[in-house]
Structures are given as structure tokens and as C-alpha cells.
Amino acid sequence: MKNFQITTTCMMALTITSVFAEKNKKAKIPNVILINADDLGYGDIACNGSKTIHTPNIDLLAKKGIRFSNFHCTASTSTPSRYSMLTGEYSWRKQGTGIATGDAGSIIRPERFTLADVFKNAGYKTGVIGKWHLGLGDKTGTQDWNGHITPGPSDIGFDYSFILAATGDRVPCVYVENERIVNLDHSDPISVSYEKNFHGEPTGASNPELLKLLPSHKHDFSIVNGISRIGYMKGGKKALWVDEDMADVITGKAVNYINENKENTFFLYFATQDIHVPRVPHSRFVGTSGMGARGDAIMEFDWSVGEIMKTIKKLGLEKNTIIILTSDNGPVIDDGYQDKAVELLGEHKPSGPLRAGKYGSFEGGSRVPGIISWPSKIKPGVSNEIVSQIDLLRSFANFLQVQVPQGAAPDSEDHFNSFINGSKGREYLVTVNINMNLSIQNSDWKMINEGKGGTKIVETNLELGNAPYDQLFNLKTDLGEKNNVADKYPEIVKQMKDKLLQIKELKKL
Ligand code: NG6
Ligand code: CA
């Protein structure tokens, strides 16, 4: 009887889904392309006020859509930020959502309802191309890299995937297409370890003479393409990526994906490796920013955005395609390689007017570029409303009339109208830093909860915002978070702390 009930419920869900999918098809619902850059700071794009960088394609996108000045990811590092965006759940509710190794098991388990499921249930074709960093396979360190690496993106709503398992600086340095390594020669199998090196394999630490880019800290394990990484790998020579070609490869895949799906309605999650380390842009971008590898990688990212824009225009899809451009966390200058990013930075301010950047609790860590264009519906402009990537899930679900299962996406709110016409956004937003310390903000105030951890990552020269006491900043008058006014406004600190507690407790899964 129980089984019968479950089956009936499932079938009803399927029927409802397909009715909506059919209806949506007829209504010419928009394609959606979500471009997520890696470590791109608020101040790294010209349209956010920077005079030191040239980003013509991103600026054009902003001109056609809404540019948000208060657009947030939920965490100042990649894995938790991406986790929240795809699941609609704050990462700090779930263990194991810190920065993932390249051999991490799937962090978003197959039973989870995701942003990709929203689109899939609405009848879209769904694809992810680029940086994944959410784990693959069942358990950490046990994947069959030479076979079907499952579970993976196809288990959480993506029909198609062409991804890097983790990041550019972590092994395995191969592309994984639909959960299988691309160009794998089975006579040269791949082994991966985050514990120990494979016998006789060179590393950055033991063989620096083999390196074309030296590490500045850590990143001295296995060597691939003359660059030492985090983690050890062996084999798979034909499958190894060439960093200089990565933007061309993934942008090419994204363009193909759009071309192949021009008759369908599609959702493409395009997550670039730019501008994360190692920053090794293609030679045609080298020297274009006058700022060294970091600036050149921004130029390369801008090019990728332009290729996507050109493609939808050429196919006549521009009017009815929503493009969302954002970043997974704030900026960092030296993140582990001697790429002269610090020396050549000049006057450029990667966080713009914001304090600090990646890893930390200050605004530079989680207030990121945010642009949304949809030429047939959006009136171009600027919005100062608080919006967050975590709300994409419920916003699109409600827009597409897709039912979010009970208990799923507990922190995601419907702010479709804020995304599309800049109307009132979120009231409160919680963000988390690398030390798991929480902050809460509204449009006036930001309270960084007392927490543990050092004040700075010395190697990256980035403030973390940790303090053993509460900090309060008035974002309206002190966007740069220079003056901690917690002592002056204890009642506001209390109100923010109470709200944080309420959010923490009310929404336990
Ligand atoms: C850090 C790495 C950094 C980068 C980061 C993840 C060291 C010292 N630093 O641990 O280089 O890889 O993890 O970045 O190893 S993220 O954008 O993917 O979160
Ligand atoms: Ca990142």
C-alpha cells in the first residue's frame, strides 16, 4: 500500500511537471544562461566604476540589462557559494561544504532538488560547462576516474555536463564530459590522491626546474603543463588539459551547446575557470590589460562573455534569453602562484569601494558583480536592492510554475521581480566566511558575528573580518566598513543577532 502511494505521488508529480513543461513550451519561456566567474571582484568590471580595467562585453551586457550594486553570493569561497546557489540552502547548514578537494565525493546528493531541476521540470534542456567544484562520485577518494564517475551532474538535474572536477589549481587536471574523462587512453589510466605522491612522479617541491609558473604558497604537488597543483595525480597524459586553451575549450563547448539547443528552451550554467589561479590566459590575451596575468584573465573572461552574447544574437535568441552574470566570491591578488598580480596591480582596486575580498566576512568577499539582461522584458538600469544567488532557485521556480518539494531550498526566496525589474529585494541576508563565521545584513546594517579564526590570511594579504566580538557597520554611510559602531548601537546589534538566531533555528532541515 505504502509503495503504491509513493508511486501514485511520483506519477502525479510527473504529470504536473509535464503539464507545466508543455504550457511553458507554448508560452515561449526564455532561455537562461547563468555565467559564474571565479574570484571576479566587484571592482573588476568597468561598469562597476573601475577606470583601470576594460571589459567592453560585460559593460554592454550591463547596458542592456540591470546592473546590481548589491548582488551577493552566500559565501566568500567557491564550494559553499556554488552549493547555496544550486540548492537554495545556506551552506553552513550542511557539513562538508567547505572548499572541496579534487577527489571529493558529490556534495549535492542525487536526492536534492536543485536549480537545474527547476529548469528541467519546466521542460528545459539543462547543461553545465566549466568549473564544478561540488565533488563527483559517491565517496571522497574512491571514484573510478577511468570509468563512469557517478553520481554527478546528471543526478542533480543537468542533462549535459562538460566540467573540471574541482578548480584549475587542483588535480585531476582533465575535462569530464557526461561523467567520463575526455580523451582518456585506457592504457594510461589516471590515479588521483590527496594523501601521498605516486612513486617516481615529480612535484613542484622536488622538481621546481620543471615549472613555468612557480608557486608562491602551497600548490607544489603534481606538475601538469609546467604548473604544480594541489593534490597528486598520475597518468592520463592524453587527457590532461592545457591551461592556456581552457577558456577557448569551455567557451567553445558553451557556444556549441547553445547552437545545438537553439530549437529547444535551454538553461546553461557556464562557470568559467577565469579568473582563478593559475592564471594562464591564452597568448592572445597576454599583455592586454597592462596588469599582468590577473588582468589578462579578466580580459579573457570578458571575451568569453562576448562569445556567448554574439552567439545568441546570431541565432536570433537575444531578445528572449536571460543572461545572468556573477561571480562565486570576491577577489584575491596572490592566491598561490608567482604571477606578478601584486606587483602589476597598479591603481586597480579589485573590490572597488568594498573592504577586503575572498575568504573573508567583509563586503569584498560576498558582494560580487551582478548583471541580468533580458532584452524583451527588462528595462535597463541600476538596482541597489539586496539580491542573492541563493534566490535564483525559488524565483525561477515560481516564475516557471515549478513546484519546489517540501523541505527543499529552505533559504531561497522568490525575488523574481527584484531580479527582473529591480523592485524590492531581500530583507536579510546571511553570508559565511572561510572560518564558518556568519554575518547578517539588511540594506542599512551589517553585523559580523563574533567568531573564531585569525584576522588575516598572511599569504594572500586578505583580511578575514574575524573578531572575538560582534562588529556592526552602517552600510549606508560606511560601505567600506571602516567604523565598527557596535558599541554605539547595542540595540541594533541585538536585533541583528536575534534575527540571525531565528534564521539559524527556524529553517533547520
Ligand atoms: C585555497 C587555496 C587557493 C584556492 C582556494 C580555493 C592554498 C594555500 N590556497 O585553499 O589557492 O585554491 O583554496 O578557491 O592552497 S575557490 O575559489 O575555489 O574557493
Ligand atoms: Ca572562487
Ordered by start, the domain boundaries in the chain are: 30-182+242-421, 429-504
Which residue's C-alpha comes closest to atom 8 of ligand 1?
218
Polymer length of the chain: 509
Give per-residue pLDDT as tens, 6-39: 333 444 444 455 555 665 555 689 999 999 999 9
What are the strands, taking DSSP E only, across 366-493? 370-373, 381-383, 387-388, 429-432, 438-441, 445-448, 456-457, 462-463, 471-474
Give per-residue pLDDT as tens, 462-506: 999 999 999 999 999 999 999 999 999 999 999 999 999 999 997
> Which grid coordinates are listed for 112?
536534492
Query: Closest Cα to residue 397, out of 86, 156, 97, 109?
Result: 86
State the pLDDT confidence band at 201, using cuts at 50, 70 and 90: very high
Residue showing cell 507554448:
26
- Average pLDDT, stretch 132-146? 98
What atom in ligand 1 is closest to the CA of residue 276? 17
Ligand 1 surroundings by CB, under 6 angstroms: 38-39, 77-78, 99, 133, 167, 169, 217-218, 230, 276-277, 329, 335-336
1 CA from centroid of ligand 2 (Å): 48
- As a whole number of angstroms, the distance between CA 197 and CA 220 comes to 11
5-35 burial string, b = 16+ CB within 10 Å, else e? eeeeeeeeeeeebeebbeebeeeebbbbbbb
What atom in ligand 1 is closest to the CA of residue 358? 17
Give per-residue pLDDT as tens, 226-275: 999 999 999 999 999 999 999 999 999 999 999 999 999 999 999 999 99
Q: What is the second-level CATH architecture of the domain 429-504? A: 2-Layer Sandwich (3.30)
Which residue's C-alpha comes closest to atom 13 of ligand 1?
99
- As a whole number of angstroms, the distance between CA 421 and CA 455 comes to 39
Q: Between 3.40.720.10, 2.160.20.60, 3.30.310.10, 3.40.50.150, what CATH number should domain 30-182+242-421 receive? A: 3.40.720.10
Tell me if residue 311 falls in helix, strand or coil. helix
> What is the pLDDT, as a whole number, of residue 9?
40
Question: What value does the mean pLDDT of the chain take?
Answer: 95
State the pLDDT confidence band at 385, using cuts at 50, 70 and 90: very high
Which residues are close to ligand 2, an ion, with C-beta < 5 A? 38-39, 78, 328-329
What atom in ligand 1 is closest to the CA of residue 77? 19
Give per-residue pLDDT as tens, 305-314: 999 999 999 9
